Structure 1
Amino acid sequence: MPNATTVTEVGQFLKNPPEGFTVEAFGSEYRVHCSEENLVFIDNFRSGDCDIVFQNSLGRKLKMHNLWEYTRMRKSLLSKRIYVLVSLCDQNIPESSKKEPSEPKVLQKYVLSIDGGNPRIKWQMERGLDWTISSVAGESYRVEIDLSEILESLAAAGVIAENLMKCNPIWKDSSFSLKYYSDALFDFPHWFGFSKRSFKLRLIKNT
């Protein structure tokens, strides 16, 4: 039985794709085909000299426009395996560049996989959605699903290469979001930014 959560370096993922994925190379582009049995939230990105395209991906920010779309997505989140691209970054910025805003250096990119149908993961997801979405039909909202604690737990468990952990790295892009747009005329919570919420998923032992 597959683990409830896994993290795989991008190069290894392309070389040995998991069940439900196939990879084709076209020059400097890799096209990753994924089956409908999986739920992929990965935007197109570049790794080294190659462009990586996840076909059938929903993208990191998913938009829904009616109750049917939300209900269908909720069912998928609670039953399918979820894939998200995350980055392990060096948070130590050189003194010479501290005067100017700069992005943390990416040390390695990984594909994080979560089994939404696993009882412990499903329970957290369902509770988080219920808490953050009180009424989906009459208001717009944005819900961010934060995966940082899962990544930190996996790193602490020795999944990440030891040489990368020496620089006390941080995780970037460790979430995905659901956006629901209502056609309500007076959607004041959305206008004033009160409809933005988030919840965290945690790694529970023995999953």
Structure 2
Amino acid sequence: MRQNTLSRCVMDVIELESFLNSPPRGFSTERCAGYTVVKWDQENSCVFIDEIQSSKGNVIFCNSPGREITVRTLGEYTDLRRQLTSMTIYILVSACTNTTVEEKRNRDVPDLRYYVVAINGSHPMIRWEMERGLDQTISSVAGESYSVDVDVSAALQGWVGENFQNLVDAEKVKPTWKDTHFTIKYRSDALFDIPYWFGFSKRQFKISYHGR
């Protein structure tokens, strides 16, 4: 996805190595011995990617909070909500594939490829789904701690389509997508946060999109 076409794009799915070799506008990479540092424009993007081990070494996204974002005040939550509905959101997903040969050998470890998913949070459809999901899953940010998983698996599958396949050992294999979410954690200072201590504050909603 390129920033100059952002208003027309809903999302994009880019293999990690392609992303690093030809970063989108607003991103730059610096390769050092054993690792790659990715810098990005924090005015236009939300990057929720942990440090990752790729085929070419460790990849570090500077200033990324990782897949879990913690907020502690109403102001922090409001600012995060504004970012999610006005910027491009980047997360890293895993594509796991088992070939016929691997299945015959009873191999438990599938081939693993990484893709960067970019979602235009300012697109009317995505913004509406994000706002609706947050409104439905977050009942209070004043006296209750909670965790909310924002799952993009439906949007990802809708974007790549049912016929998307990876080439593994000269065999075309349909992947199983993993790590397709990021988590918002609100930590209240309340001493008697009963729902949180009993595990009732874990929630989830999905961002969906079908078609290009």
Change (3 A) 1:106 1:176: farther
Structure 1 residue 31 corresponds to structure 2 residue 37: yes
Structure 1 residue 118 corresponds to structure 2 residue 86: no
Structure 1 residue 20 corresponds to structure 2 residue 26: yes
> Quick one: distance in 1 between partners of 2:192 and 2:22?
50
User: Are the counterparts in 2 of residues 78 and 117 from structure 1 also a CA contact under 8 Å?
Assistant: yes
> Quick one: distance in 1 between partners of 2:144 and 2:165?
44
Structure 1 residue 8 corresponds to structure 2 residue 14: yes
Q: Which residue number corresponds to residue 83 of structure 1?
A: 90
User: Could you list the per-position Cα deviations for residues 32-67 of structure 1 after superposition, in whole angstroms to 9, with x for gaps in the alignment?
Assistant: 001112100000011014110000212100111111
Which residue identity lines up with residue 181 of structure 2 in the other structure? Answer: S
Q: Gapped runs of 5+ residues in structure 2?
A: none
Q: How far did residue 83 of structure 1 move?
A: 0.2
Q: Which residue number corresponds to residue 195 of structure 1?
A: 201
SS in 2 for 1:182: coil
Percent of aligned positions that are identical: 42
Q: Gapped runs of 5+ residues in structure 1?
A: none
Change (3 A) 1:91 1:70: farther
Which residue identity lines up with residue 45 of structure 2 in the other structure? Answer: N
Larger deviation, residues 147-156 vs 193-202:
147-156
Q: CA RMSD for the aligned pairs? A: 2.0
Q: How far did residue 95 of structure 1 move?
A: 6.3
What TM-score results when the alignment is normalised by the length of structure 2?
Answer: 0.87
Following TM superposition, the consecutive aligned residue runs of length 4 or more in structure 1 with deviations greater than 4 angstroms are 95-98
Change (3 A) 1:17 1:157: farther
Q: Which residue number corresponds to residue 156 of structure 2?
A: 151
User: Are the counterparts in 2 of residues 89 and 169 from structure 1 also a CA contact under 8 Å?
Assistant: yes
Q: How far did residue 154 of structure 1 move?
A: 2.1
> Quick one: distance in 2 between partners of 1:120 and 1:127?
11
Structure 1 residue 66 corresponds to structure 2 residue 70: no
User: Are the counterparts in 1 of residues 165 and 172 from structure 2 also a CA contact under 8 Å?
Assistant: no
> Quick one: distance in 2 between partners of 1:169 and 1:157?
10
Which residue identity lines up with residue 189 of structure 2 in the other structure? Answer: D
Q: Which residue number corresponds to residue 167 of structure 2?
A: 163
Which residue identity lines up with residue 184 of structure 1 in the other structure? Answer: A
User: Are the counterparts in 1 of residues 166 and 174 from structure 2 also a CA contact under 8 Å?
Assistant: no
User: Are the counterparts in 2 of residues 79 and 116 from structure 1 also a CA contact under 8 Å?
Assistant: yes
Which residue identity lines up with residue 76 of structure 1 in the other structure? Answer: Q
User: Are the counterparts in 2 of residues 41 and 58 from structure 1 also a CA contact under 8 Å?
Assistant: yes
Q: How far did residue 191 of structure 1 move?
A: 0.8
> Quick one: distance in 2 between partners of 1:50 and 1:162?
22
Which residue identity lines up with residue 131 of structure 2 in the other structure? Answer: E
Aligned length: 201
